Amino acid sequence: MIRFFITLLLVLAVTAFSYLLIDQKGYILITMGDWIYEATVFGFVTLLILAMLLVYSLYLIIRSVFRTSGKAWHFIAHGGEEKAMRVYEQGLAAYLVEDFPKAEKLLVKSAPKCTMTNTAWLFAASAANKQNMTESAKQYLRHIAENTEGEEQLNYEALLVAGKLNLDDAEFSQARQLIDKNKDRVGHSGRMLSLDIEVCLHEKRYLQAIEYLRDARKDKNIDDGQIALWETQAFAGYFQELIAGQSVHDVEQYFNNLSRKERNRESVMLAYAQVLGEHGLTDKLEDLVLPLFKKQPSQKFIDGLKEISMPHSPKVMAAIQKHLQKEPDDPVWLSAFAYACVASRDWEKARKAFVSLLKVRQLPDDLQAYAKVLQTLGEHEQANRVYQEIMAQA
């Protein structure tokens, strides 16, 4: 602006002194019909500059009026929204310092008016969960489900958090709705696929979960151990569905039709073993377990067999003892032998096996099983000491 005024002054100065230098004033004649206007060059330039100054002044006045009215309109239209955003930020700060009651109060207050509506409800639900206020958390999550326009703006991480909160609160239908609405937008891999698998398992859509698990196996970002747990749950659930609707023979046929890679997975074998054990199919159970016992099953597989109703099997016991002859202090085989003795109700052998196992390692589950064996044998005082040891470790 200063440069503009300096330029005008220079033009005016040059015009004023130029005619003195050439000793000529110079005239300008303007005619329009009968109207004639005559002026010196200096006078004309002066009038032109004054006109420009007038126009520029009007421009400044009009701009100032519009700016003032714009700010006033913005305050009227968005003042509440900006205030809500400030409250939202205060709520987030309270959440970060783990002041969950204050965080919940501020976030709930800000949610209806701020631009981050769903995120505010999300953090409010999380804050309520931290306080074990399940009903409040459910209510806040329902606001997200109802706010369909805002839901489209939730990012990937926020969707995962919302889904997890719905799962924690047993709101499976809302979790399903959230996943299905956003699957195409955020993709269906990684953590979103994991969330979908968990929801499928809760919904007892086991066959769909099995299909998703095949995709999950290809995703390097999903933990293999977690996939194995889901596989056991999904296949066990689907096997039970087949039994309820058809027969054990159909389960056997389905298992045999799986690819060799799937059949040889411990997680799938464990699910199949559960079905065979529950229906007393000892021969088939031996055929399933013995080939793996001849190799080296994982501790997870051995632990899974603890929960299976496995009848006494001399072949299984012989396979375990063969390993123990080579590695008498191996906790995997000591554990397998101890629990096999419990399954076959050979309590004295089970007691000795647990004593040997507990010399190598002391896990709460093993101590618990040992205490039950002692109770069965009538050694209540010793069993009480074991229970006290379990409580001391807790």
Amino acid at 317: M
Using an 8 Å Cβ cutoff, are 118 and 151 in contact?
yes
Using an 8 Å Cβ cutoff, are 238 and 221 in contact?
no
Angle (nearest 5°) at CA 278 between 275 and 284: 60
CATH architecture for segment(s) 310-394: Alpha Horseshoe (1.25)
* Terminal Cα distance for the chain, rounded: 78
Place of tokens 């010793």: 382
Residues 74-120: pLDDT tens digits?
A: 445 444 577 778 888 888 788 777 888 888 888 888 877 777 777 78
pLDDT score recorded for residue 157: 65
Higher pLDDT, 31 or 94: 94
Using an 8 Å Cβ cutoff, are 133 and 103 in contact?
no
Residues in the chain: 394
What is the number of other CB atoms lying within 10 angstroms of the CB of residue 31? 9
Measure the CA–CA gap between 119 and 114, rounded to whole angstroms: 10
For residue 4, pLDDT beyond 60: yes
Report which secondary-structure segment, H or E, holds 350. Answer: helix 347-360
Tokens of 270: 């464990």
Q: Is the pTM of this model over 0.85?
A: no
Residues 263-272: pLDDT tens digits?
A: 888 889 988 8
- Domain map (residue ranges) of the chain: 310-394
